[in-house]
Structure 1
């Protein structure tokens, strides 16, 4: 094995350099919009879903209501698409235990729909499963004017 000729090796340790980055033009991360939720005062899974939303960076304003049907009508939700709580975010309706990542995708893609729903109360959805569990075994459905449009995400 031959020895390395160190006379031709540049020694960068002896010549320190300071590197600066101009961040004055960098964009700050865009804040997520407010999620306004209407739920029953006694619904624990709704409160757990709200915690999931907050844990994922969404500001949330929750309202207890004895008449959730009025918000489902406002959401243009079909009868078969309902769940336990109704939320509104940036012009879209969110029904039930829709994962925060689907809502972030919705807000990024901005499809021409009324909103998203996880019909019923899927067992492995945020708010229905142990905190930190991955969603599984159900679909998040996109809907428009009371009708299902298609599967937004399959879990």
Structure 2
């Protein structure tokens, strides 16, 4: 009986250890200044998978625009997306979260994130560029461009078009 109890306790401990946060203990942080030399006013935490190349390119886009990007690698991002209210039809390969708690899903140009945060959106959870449109920041492929919409995600689970990006110059 004692042996069975000890085995059960060890198994429970092992299972609970597997539920521990898989993210890094210390996020990677890059602080850049804007073109005038001022400290960047926008910080985003970017949740991505360790091997995603386009996520790394999108983070580079953010940094080039003066955004401070703290990256956290996870093997499975579905829990992060669910925590911030992003439903599967709006998923992309990474999720960024502002200090105000807004979620930014996918390859959104930095200027639209800044614009969104400068506005009032009491019924929104954030923005999304579902999937991975060719030519969007981080998805540049041999000069190819596919027009796409940036969606405004509402707290009720619906979405509306926030901006239509018809050419690369709009990014």
Place the TM-score, normalised by the shorter chain, in its bin. 0.7 to 0.9
Q: Is the 8 A contact 1:87 1:94 kept in 2?
A: yes
Distance change >3 Å, CA 69–CA 48, structure 1 → 2: same
Q: What is aligned with 1:24?
A: none
Q: Please state which structure has a larger fraction of its residues in helix.
A: 2
Distance change >3 Å, CA 44–CA 134, structure 1 → 2: same
* Deviation of the 1:120 alpha carbon: 0.4
Q: Give the whole-Å Cα distance in 2 for the aligned partners of 1:99 and 1:83.
A: 14
Q: Give the whole-Å Cα distance in 2 for the aligned partners of 1:40 and 1:106.
A: 25
Distance change >3 Å, CA 146–CA 68, structure 1 → 2: farther
Question: For this pair of structures, how many residues does the alignment match?
Answer: 127
Pairing partner for 2:136 from 112, 125, 128: 125
Q: Give the whole-Å Cα distance in 2 for the aligned partners of 1:136 and 1:148.
A: 24
| TM-score for both structures, normalised by structure 1 | 0.74
Q: What is aligned with 2:103?
A: 93
Gaps of 5+ in 2: 1-37, 166-171
Q: What is aligned with 1:12?
A: none
Gaps of 5+ in 1: 1-28
Q: Is the 8 A contact 2:93 2:131 kept in 1?
A: yes
Q: Give the whole-Å Cα distance in 2 for the aligned partners of 1:85 and 1:104.
A: 18
* Deviation of the 1:33 alpha carbon: 2.3
Give the alignment's Cα RMSD to 1 decimal: 2.2
Q: Give the whole-Å Cα distance in 2 for the aligned partners of 1:154 and 1:146.
A: 22
Pairing partner for 1:77 from 86, 89, 99: 86
Q: Give the whole-Å Cα distance in 2 for the aligned partners of 1:146 and 1:77.
A: 11
